[in-house]
Amino acid sequence: MNRVVHPIEVESYRRLRARLDTSHFPPLTRAVVERVIHSAADLDYATDLVMDEGDLEKAHAALHSGAPVVTDVEMVAAGITRRETVCRLRDAESGPGLTRSAHAIRLAHEQVGPGAIWVIGNAPTALEELLTLDAAPALVIGLPVGFVGAVESKAALRESGLPAVSNVSEKGGSAVASAALNALLYHPTHPSEETS
């Protein structure tokens, strides 16, 4: 993907790298770690994030081959640039034992089927619901934020064995979830295209 990088972003990355050595990370992991840190100005994400380079390579290929991207909330969708997303929250309804966010995940699963990239940055219940479905995702970016259910839902994601980006702490949110997806979206598909 060709995109013009603003001088402020260039300087931000320069300062980030001056404060934190990310050169030991494999390429896609480094891209995700740096973009998440850039989005939150929080260097602790370098040790809080959990991901596997092999999973990221497969997800990167799927993303650039047109895999659907599903988000739990419109704030995550708004942060994903240059890519159509599916967010069914407006169509969802809460019910007994089912949050609106969880229902939205069910609706999205019915729409996109297997092989999608799921980006969850707001609702732990959305991530919990996704784990009950036979979604066969290309990747789950599971970074919901909060003091209730966030840590537990992300731990369940890691235990599921699904290809994933998650983090250990309560931190997360729409901005970091969309940043993780954008890192894969912006990363070149050919090594010769790398600029940083």
- The question of whether 109 is a catalytic residue gets the answer no
CA 85 to CA 49: how far, in whole Å?
23
State the DSSP string of 88-118. -GGG---BTTB-HHHHHHHHHHHHH-TT-EE
Identified catalytic residue from 24, 38, 64, 109: 38
CA 85 to CA 82: how far, in whole Å?
10
Structure tokens at 128: 């919990």
CB 34 within 8 A of CB 16: yes
Q: Is the dihedral of CA 21, 170, 56, 64 positive or negative?
A: negative
Positions marked catalytic? 38
